[in-house]
Structure 1
């Protein structure tokens, strides 16, 4: 874990203008300064510790993660973190029914994979110019919105959200499906819409980066433990098989 001083250095305590707050965030606000709400970093530290522990435990159980964050400050970091965590992401626009209408989205993902394969094989070059251009345009569109889900074969177990006000459609779909959510909550967010959360600045790139790094480390720790567990299970199975065959 990091220290409260490190959290303050990246501006994790800076909330939104007081007039833009969500009253439900009151328990996590320390004070107001120059019209800006200041988040209580002691509480941030407490909830961050809980979230990191949950992420490690979940990864150890083999759970899958989807990172969601489409606003400019978070978009690039979301993709980078998800890829490093061997997870999935949405960082452009949340398409309606992305989870609740998974069957249709899965068909679009299959289409994307098919178009990419055809492009790699040079098949698109053999098509008439107009048809090839249409295929390329469709592939680029699907890649933009579904590129982070290409290897996702089923609905994820846990959804990590950055920028709750911008991702309300994702939040609602998670609620509808009963999926566990982890959310970075700024002072304009609603803690009642999150299962696990960290009260923190979700606009500062440095703040988002630091939090996502901690999430990543927690997930990777659990994933490594899961791999070791699987190795032991496989070793035990081979040992039993060897005894039976001898």
Structure 2
């Protein structure tokens, strides 16, 4: 089960610290509680409510068996996102966002397949037939693809949603998702425009502790959704087996009742 985070936990993690007031986006006004020492303070009660709303939606998506792509290329977020997304079995981008990642998904898939081709070459011996220079080129290509796309190698189709840390930095990812109508979940700081985001989580997207608490919460919701799917599949299988056995056991009884009923009618 996904745990509900208390407002105090968000406060302790510094989720409430926004940007300097001169760098704010006026569209974030509904989520700002006050201004202190030239910095906007985020309303954590709204953050908590929005986080619960986002978690419920992410849990449903995970329970349906679809993928959620996590995007965070900033230094303080990339390791946190990679760890938790991997733990939840979801794809993620923590290096450079490859242009056309979504809008030109077919080409990206072809690049991912190149990695599989190199791996097959190493297994079947074709790799050894290459010259030293060719092997070096192949290894470099494989390493580069692994660095940029290795984390999405299992994503065989378009993701059902994106979870983004810092929508200002990841504006290309936001634009591509909007173009394709893919729902966007995001940590949105006071310097960003929340209007294009489907599920806004107003929060500090610069501090590692703040990112950690939010990412852990959403990936816990994803894992809960995967658990729901697993249990649902188990429940679907169980009745079929029981019903089958029950029908076989009850068949002689039903036949006997029919016989009795027909004799009474005669």
Deviations 1:96-133 (A, max 9, x none): 11011111111001002222343466653552111011
Indicate yes or no: 2:196 matched with 1:193: yes
* 1:176-191 paired onto structure 2 within 5 Å: 176-191=179-194
Q: Is 1:71–2:77 an aligned residue pair?
A: no
The separation in 2 between residues aligned to 1:157 and 1:244, in whole angstroms, is 41
Question: Counterparts in 2 of 1:130-169, with a 5 A limit?
Answer: 130-169=133-172
C-alpha contact (below 8 Å) 2:67/2:155 kept by paired residues = no
Instruction: Name 2:262's counterpart in structure 1.
Output: none
Distance 1:205 1:238, change over 3 A: same
1:214 alignment counterpart: 217
Is 1:124 the counterpart of 2:127? The answer is yes
* TM-score normalised by the chain length of structure 1: 0.93
1:115 and 2:139 aligned: no
Q: Select 2:232's aligned residue among 223, 229, 232.
A: 229
Q: 1:77 offset after TM fit, Å?
A: 1.3
SS of residue in 2 equivalent to 1:156: coil
Which runs of 5 or more residues in structure 2 are unaligned? 250-266
**8 Å contact from structure 1 (residues 201, 207) kept in 2:** yes
CA RMSD of aligned residues (A): 1.9
Matching of residue 175 in structure 1 with residue 178 in structure 2: yes
CA shift at 1:148, angstroms?
Answer: 1.1
Q: Are residues 140 and 238 of structure 1, via their aligned partners in 2, closer, same or farther at CA, if it must alter by over 3 Å?
A: same
1:93 aligned partner: 96
Rg larger for: 2
Per the alignment, residue 23 of structure 2 pairs with: 20
Q: 1:121 and 1:200, CA in 2 relative to 1: closer, same or farther beyond 3 A?
A: farther
Equivalent of 2:61 in 54, 58, 61: 58
Q: Aligned pair count? A: 246
Query: Per-residue displacement from partner, 1:176-226 (whole Å, max 9, x unpaired)?
Result: 111111000001111111000110000100110111110111111111011
Q: 1:185 touches 1:200 (CA, 8 Å); kept in 2?
A: yes
Cα distance in structure 1, aligned partners of 2:95 and 2:48 = 29
- Paired residue for 2:45? 42
Q: Secondary structure at the match of 1:54?
A: helix
- Residues 202/236 of structure 1: CA separation in 2 closer, same or farther (3 Å cut): same
The worse-fitting range, judged by mean Cα deviation, of 128-137 and 55-64 is: 55-64
For 2:217 and 2:40, locate their aligned partners in 1 and report how far apart those are by CA, in whole Å: 24
| Long gaps (5+) in structure 1 | none
Look up the SS of the partner of 1:161 in the other structure. strand
